[in-house]
């Protein structure tokens, strides 16, 4: 990776980080669905996927592993267009790796330097919102991402948790990370909150519910809303289909749209 260093975020109006204390809580899912919801609201949207642990967004948006080109101002993003409906600018660190195991051998300073360079070397052009999908937890990689984004401006972070993970030390460490780095918490999303029956669409609370809201109160952050575990959403993500386009009548659509609208309002305010 030898980006020119000239890429910039000058024409990007808002930058949001998506964080989670633990892996597998649906951070990439929420990033993807928020990006699509913003796009449906008529915004120009980009996703920067810095999740070295499991860069899943290219799969969720059905772009595979395209060849990435460079222009005078940096790496040119890939334009994801699921079912020819929604255009999104995407840059994933996975696009630049020879194979999926390459990042595992990167160590300490080399890793953070490469991530920092990657973050500042993408030629985004004009965007309303850039969502940054980070690895789970808090690490030097997060600091490198934040430091490089801050050269521009970061609006804040969206924290994703599940009802089960809400009381764990990982989530508390995430909140401490935001406080210590002066990263504004824009709000908390509780994902996998209840299960939507694929037969009758009834939502059952198989685990406890309300932890995200409680956590928001405890930390003085906004509670953005909860998204249920919906088999139709899992299926859409696996097939790279736009769930919001396909299931506009579902309660999951309403939940995601509510969170996206709340965030848009807070950015506009
Ligand atoms: N609300 C949901 N409804 C249905 N399936 C979901 C939901 N949220 C996440 N999933 C599924 O759970 C799995 C893990 O989600 P995802 O990859 O978004 O998690 P993550 O927190 O980004 O993981 P990682 O630790 O790899 O970064 C995926 O297969 C995804 O499709
Ligand atoms: S929620 Fe209703 S339709 Fe779904 S499995 Fe339970 S009883 Fe059957």
Instruction: ipTM value, please give it.
Output: 0.95
Identify the sign of the CA torsion 164, 214, 182, 156.
Answer: positive
Number of domains composing the chain: 1
Residue range 221-242: mean pLDDT, rounded = 94
Q: Which residues pair with 92 in a beta bridge?
A: 49
DSSP for 105-132, please give it: G--HHHHHHHHHHHHHTB---SEEEEEE
- pLDDT band for position 15 (cuts 50, 70, 90): very high
| Cα 115–chain centre separation | 16
- In-domain check, residue 50: yes
Q: Is the CB of 218 under 6 A from ligand 2?
A: no
The pLDDT tens digits of the residues spanning 155-206 come to: 999 999 998 777 677 888 889 999 999 999 999 999 998 899 988 888 888 7
Q: Is 236 in the pocket of ligand 1 (CB under 6 A)?
A: no
Q: Counting atoms of ligand 1 from 1, which one is nearest the CA of 56?
A: 17
Residue 24 assigned ligand-binding role: yes
Retrieve residue 262's tokens.
């709340």
Q: Where in the sequence is the domain holding 128, given as residue range(s)?
A: 13-268
**Residue 62 included in any domain:** yes
3 located within any domain: no
8 lies in a domain?
no
In this prediction, residue 7 carries a pLDDT of 52
Atom number in ligand 2 closest to CA 200: 3
Ligand 1 mean position to 4 CA, how many Å? Answer: 33
Asked whether residue 187 is assigned to any structural domain, the reply reads yes
Among protein residues, the one whose CA lies closest to atom 5 of ligand 2: 197
Token pair listed for 70: 């460079």
- Ligand 1 binding pocket mutation candidate from 230, 237, 247 (most atoms within 8 A of CB): 237
- The confidence band for 243, taking pLDDT boundaries of 50, 70 and 90, is very high
Give the distance (Å) from ligand 2 centre to CA of residue 236: 21
In a domain, 215, yes or no: yes
Helix (H, G, I), strand (E, B) or coil at 167: coil
User: For residue 29, is it within any domain?
Assistant: yes
What CATH number does residue 213 fall under? 3.40.50.300
Report the alpha-carbon distance of residue 211 to residue 103 in Å, rounded: 34
Report the C-alpha gap between 165 and 20 in whole angstroms.
10
- φ and ψ at residue 186, rounded to 5 degrees: -75, -25
Residue 2 lies in a domain: no
Decide: 27 in ligand 1 pocket, CB within 6 A: yes
Query: What pLDDT was estimated at residue 133?
Result: 93
Q: How far is the CA of 194 from the centre of ligand 2 (A)?
A: 13
- CA–CA separation, 31 vs 134, rounded Å? 10
């Amino acid at each position: 990776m030898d980006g020119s260093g000239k890429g910039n975020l000058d024409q990007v109006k808002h930058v949001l980080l998506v964080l989670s204390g633990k892996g597998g809580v649906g951070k990439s899912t929420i990033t993807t669905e928020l990006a699509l919801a913003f796009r449906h609201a008529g915004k120009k949207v980009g996703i920067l996927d810095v999740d070295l642990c499991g860069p899943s967004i290219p799969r969720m948006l059905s772009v595979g592993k395209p060849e990435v080109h460079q222009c005078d101002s940096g790496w040119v993003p890939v334009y994801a267009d699921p079912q020819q409906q929604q255009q999104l600018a995407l840059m994933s660190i996975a696009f630049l790796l020879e194979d999926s195991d390459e990042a595992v051998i990167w160590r300490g300073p080399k890793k953070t330097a490469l991530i920092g360079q990657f973050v500042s070397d993408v030629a985004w052009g004009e965007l309303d919102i850039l969502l940054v999908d980070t690895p789970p937890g808090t690490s030097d990689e997060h600091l490198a991402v934040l430091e490089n984004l801050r050269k521009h401006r970061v609006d804040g972070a969206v924290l994703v948790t599940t009802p089960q993970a809400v009381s764990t030390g990982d989530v508390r460490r995430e909140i401490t990370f935001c406080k210590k780095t002066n990263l504004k918490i824009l709000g908390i999303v509780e994902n996998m909150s209840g299960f939507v029956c694929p037969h009758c669409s009834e939502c059952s609370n198989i685990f406890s519910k309300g932890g995200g809201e409680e956590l928001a109160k405890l930390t003085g952050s906004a509670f953005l809303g909860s998204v249920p575990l919906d088999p139709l959403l899992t299926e859409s993500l696996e097939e790279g289909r736009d769930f919001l386009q396909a299931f506009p009548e579902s309660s999951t659509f309403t939940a995601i749209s509510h969170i996206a609208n709340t965030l848009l309002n807070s950015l506009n305010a």
